[in-house]
């Protein structure tokens, strides 16, 4: 799946980032999530004659999209044992 990055102001949602001294940029979170990419992922760019740039996750080594459950797995802040959870749910 390609994402079109364009410099035209056509009323669409725009995202900006800053190029760092080593020619690196941070890809906005919603774009990373849409493409299912993260650290170490390969990204392809295609420059079109009209000045548009297409960006997509490279197909080699591409991770499958994370489910909404996988995104929150391990996010719990309260440490409760299984026995304590069972006691709470059973009303004991």
Return averaged pLDDT per consecutive 10 residues of the chain, 92 residues in all.
49 71 85 83 86 79 68 79 89 70
Q: How far apart are CA 52 and CA 80, in angstroms?
A: 51
Q: Which domain holds residue 33?
A: 2-64
Q: What is the pLDDT of residue 61?
A: 53
Q: What is the pLDDT of residue 8?
A: 41
77 domain-assigned: no
Q: What is the pLDDT of residue 48?
A: 86
Q: How far apart are CA 84 and CA 80, in angstroms?
A: 6
How many structural domains is the chain composed of? Answer: 1
Q: Rg for the chain (alpha carbons), in Å?
A: 20
Q: Tell me the two tokens of residue 75.
A: 């996010």
A 10 A CB-CB count for 32 gives 16
Contact (Cβ atoms closer than 8 angstroms) between residue 91 and residue 76: no
79 domain-assigned: no
43 domain-assigned: yes
**Domain CATH number, residue 23:** 2.10.260.10
How much is the pTM? Answer: 0.48
């Amino acid at each position: 799946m390609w994402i079109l990055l364009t410099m035209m102001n056509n009323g669409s949602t725009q995202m900006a980032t800053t190029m760092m001294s080593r020619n690196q940029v941070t890809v906005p979170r919603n774009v990373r999530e849409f493409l299912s990419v993260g650290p170490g992922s390969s990204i392809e760019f295609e420059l079109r004659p009209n000045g548009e740039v297409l960006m997509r996750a490279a197909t080699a080594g591409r991770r499958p999209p994370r489910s909404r459950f996988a995104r929150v797995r391990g996010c719990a802040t309260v440490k409760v044992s299984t026995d304590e959870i069972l006691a709470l749910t059973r009303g004991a």
